[in-house]
Chain A
Amino acid sequence: MNFDDTPQEAAFRAEAKAWIAANAPRQYEDELRKASLGRVALKGVNILEVAKAWQKKKADAGWACLHWPKDYGGRGASPIERVIWQQEEGPFGRLSSMFIIGHGMCGPTMMAFAGEEQKRKYLPPLASGEKIWCQLFSEPAGGSDVAGLRTRAEKNGDEWVINGQKIWTSGAHYSDYGILLTRTDPDVAKHKGLTMFFLDMKSPGVEVRPIKQANGASDFNEVYFTDVRIPDSQRLGNVNDGWNVSLTTLMNERMSIGAGVATGFPELFDFCNSLMLEDGPAIENRAVRSKLADWAVKASGLKYTSMRAISALSRGERPGPENSIGKLVAGSMIQDVATYALDLQGAAGALSGPEDAEVAGKFQAMLLRAPGTRVEGGTDEIMRNIIAERVLGLPGDIRVDKDVPFNKIPTKGRA
């Protein structure tokens, strides 16, 4: 048992470290390091431009999309090398947030289902950040139940005509392309009538509208499709086989192991270390210590769970199912941590202006963003279902709509 790199890993780490030291945009390091949950912003500059410049620089030197084949703009690196890169990239990795969906989900789906010519055309600019991609799956009527989606694609000659609405699309407003899951046959069971496409987001009939979230920010969009035309050559996989194509997309996402999930614990520990309560320093208060200890072992448990997965990668094995707990634990933890940080301040905890609030209002921002964290990318309940079914082997839910044609499934207006 050890935390040491193998000689090859150490050589790779040294090379990555040296290149990052010589090339990273150091002027933003401090701001990026302090950025917490949700959207990362930089003062006085457009973060999209900074992010694209950094991504292009990495791509030119062979450090973009490390796990992708070289032919498509990647490096052909091993999974453990990808993790080492993330560790070394540190705060600069936050500049990759707008590329995560394209690199983690859209790219791998294109690799599996697009034609060779298309792959060579679309993947390298995706890898280099010159083109940004988004993923158009969720709909108002199909969130956790994504196969319940209603956006129609109807064949018309060599083209498909798309009508409908998507929601919760991250980055749609700055995306160049998207992968789109549609319904092509409403007369069969819901999983059996779906088809996947990719499309140019500038196509006529595509309208992107930002969603104003509960916390006041706008990280996501609604996307409306009105008679949008997509050539059949941009279909991914067979007609009505879109469900299986989407599983490839989602599987790829689960295979990626992040550099760590935000829990809010380091911020809370520092805060309690400096906060004075009526009866002395907060960190010396019995009740505070008990709470802190509880969260400390959750945070360290997550950290070492991720180390175990990385070790499996280092041995050339697939990580076990342990990593599926990360989002579930961190999501509700950050919410509880933020709630408690405010609680410690009494009435003043409600103040969120950067001039009045502790740590420039970071805990208040965490509190207001956290409900979204527990919903996006699989709700807490869906994550528990996944653990129960795929890890523990418990039966799937009884699906009353499984063998019913999609257009006969009861809906709110059609019970």
Chain B
Amino acid sequence: MNFDFSDEQKQMRDEARKFLTEQCPPKAVREVLDGKAPYDKALWKGLAEMGFLGVAIPEQFGGAGAGHLELCVIAEEMGRALAPVPFSSTVYLAAEAILIAGSDAQKQKWLPKIASGDAIGTLALFEGKSNPSPKAIKVTANGGVLNGVKKPVADGAIADFAVVAARTGSSGRESDISLFIVDLKAGGVEVKSLTNIDLTRGQAEITFKDAKAEPLGAAGEGWSVITQVLDRAAVLTAFEQVGGADRALEMGRDYALDRIAFGRPIGSFQAVKHMLADMYVSATLARSNCYYGAWALSTNAGELPEAAAAARISATQAFQHCAKNNIQVHGGMGFTWEFDCHMYYRRANAVALGLGSLSYWEDALIDRMRKKNAA
């Protein structure tokens, strides 16, 4: 048994860490945080040059053809560095949707551009206050054009194209939903940036008014594809969350060693030690759940739906827990703009919602466990 990443994959993680430590220090993240740029273009280009954007895209479509395990180790480093780039939207959501449902021509058109950093993609799923649900989708598709409003759409303001979930039937079933690819730079598309709690990543509202749309996958199978995409993205995002949780834990640990109060390092007080020990516990549980998710994702195992939900829940809890207690360990300094703690806190709480919130994944996990139990 080898329930671990291979030496080559660990080497790739080290390379990604080295690259991001140099190219994405907190100072670079702050450029986006402070609104000086919508995302870090130089970093995006660098990631493409490193081959990270197309690591799981087959070679015939311009990628490295490595696989999802390699993508997992890179995702962890992206989360650790709080990389202010549309990586998750483009790579976990748009590219995966096209890999699952796209025609050869669609793959040929979009995947090489994703791998080379020339196209930013996203998934336009949500329409207001709701977790993923076919019932919540009101945007309509008729005669090759879309009408309606998507909100929020991650990275929508900087994306070149979107995979859009739209209504093509009214039976009240999942088969009412179909997927489309829309060129966001074409006519009939209005994009508005929205303020959100994570200032290092954009959110947008996209309005379609007779916007030209190309079907992605068969009509009526949109929801099934969405479910698969969300499961894959859940595992990959969970690695980002674990990377962020680990970094927040390290920041807290380092500060506890460095900060002196009452004549001793605050890390020698049990109240502080125990808080950090509990952060380690939740980060470790999350990492182990993520490894199982990575195994299921890379082998496309029947266990993926359950493994993805478990990884998602565990990693969401761990990142939120570590990010908030990192601020607590830092005390007053942790609540300043100057210290980086709040950037992790913001990301932890925003990323907890993006693919559907905890309650959505809790429901999904129990449904999937029941199904397995009944089988």
User: Which residues of chain A have a CB within 8 Å of any CB of chain B?
Assistant: 1-6, 9, 269, 273, 283, 286, 289-290, 292-294, 296-298, 300-305, 307-308, 310-312, 314-315, 322, 325, 328-329, 381, 383-385, 387-389, 391-398
Contacts and interface: CB of A to CB of B under 8 A. Distances in A.
Nearest to A269: B369
B284 to A, nearest CB: 5
Given A325-B284, A329-B281, A315 B289 contact: no
B253 A3 contact: no
A389 B267 CA distance: 9
A292 B310 CA distance: 11
B318 to A, nearest CB: 9
B285 A329 contact: yes
Interface string B1-37: 1111110000000000000000000000000000000
Nearest to A312: B4
A392 B249 CA distance: 9
Interface of B: 1-6, 69, 249, 253, 256-257, 264-265, 267-268, 270, 272-274, 276-278, 280-281, 284-289, 291-292, 294-295, 298, 309-310, 313-314, 317, 359, 361-363, 365-366, 369-370, 373
B288 A301 contact: yes
9 contacts: A1-B295, A2-B3, A293-B365, A300-B288, A307-B288, A325-B280, A394-B256, A394-B273, A395-B264
Given A290-B359, A297-B313, A5 B1 contact: yes
Contact of A1 (B6, B273, B276, B278): B6
A2 to B, nearest CB: 6
Contacts of A298: 285, 314
A378 to B, nearest CB: 13
Give 8 nearest A-B pairs by CB, closest first.
Answer: A301-B285, A293-B362, A388-B273, A304-B288, A384-B277, A387-B277, A395-B268, A297-B314
A1 B5 contact: yes
A2 B301 CA distance: 12
A393 B253 contact: yes
Contact of B284 (A305, A312, A397): A305
B288 A322 contact: yes
B1 A297 contact: no
A387 B249 CA distance: 13
Contacts of A269: 369, 373
A396 to B, nearest CB: 7
Contacts of B265: 395
Interface residues of chain B: helix, strand, loop or mixed (majority): helix
Nearest to A304: B288
B369 A301 contact: no
Contacts of B295: 1-3
Nearest to A9: B1
A322 B284 contact: yes
Contacts, number: 159
Nearest to A298: B285
B370 A273 contact: yes
B291 to A, nearest CB: 6
A3 B301 CA distance: 12
Nearest to A289: B366
A2 B2 contact: yes
B3 A308 contact: yes
A293 B285 contact: no
Contact of A388 (B264, B276, B310, B363): B276
Given A3-B1, A393-B257, A381 B280 contact: no
Contacts of A325: 280-281, 284-285
A77 B270 CA distance: 40
A1 B253 contact: no
A329 B277 CA distance: 11
B300 to A, nearest CB: 13
Contacts of A9: 1
A353 B276 CA distance: 42
Nearest to B313: A297
Contacts of B6: 1
A361 to B, nearest CB: 24
Contact of B274 (A290, A384, A396): A384
B268 A396 contact: yes
A296 B307 CA distance: 11
A398 B264 contact: yes
Contact of B366 (A292, A381, A393, A397): A292
A291 B232 CA distance: 24
B4 A311 contact: yes
B366 A307 contact: no
Contacts of B317: 294, 297
B257 A394 contact: yes
Contacts of A294: 313, 317, 362
Contact of A305 (B274, B276, B285): B285
A398 B289 CA distance: 36
Contact of A395 (B69, B267, B286): B267
Given A304-B292, A393-B253, A3 B3 contact: yes
A297 B289 contact: yes
B250 to A, nearest CB: 9
A303 B307 CA distance: 13
Contacts of A4: 1
A277 B298 CA distance: 40
B207 to A, nearest CB: 33
A311 B2 contact: yes
A337 to B, nearest CB: 15
Contacts of A308: 3-4, 288, 291
A289 B291 contact: no
Given A6-B1, A304-B289, A384-B274, 4 more contacts: A293-B361, A329-B285, A391-B280, A394-B267
A273 B373 CA distance: 10
Contacts of B1: 2-6, 9, 307, 310-311, 314
A1 B268 contact: no
Interface centre among A286, A289, A303 (most CB of B within 10 A): A289
Contact of B289 (A290, A301, A329, A383): A301
Nearest to A396: B268
B277 A1 contact: no
Contacts of B253: 392-394
A1 B3 contact: yes
A296 B267 contact: no
Contacts of B273: 384-385, 388-389, 392, 394
A263 to B, nearest CB: 12
Nearest to A314: B1
B286 A301 contact: yes
B366 A302 contact: no
B93 to A, nearest CB: 23
A143 B288 CA distance: 32
A392 B276 CA distance: 8
Contacts of B264: 395, 398
B366 to A, nearest CB: 4
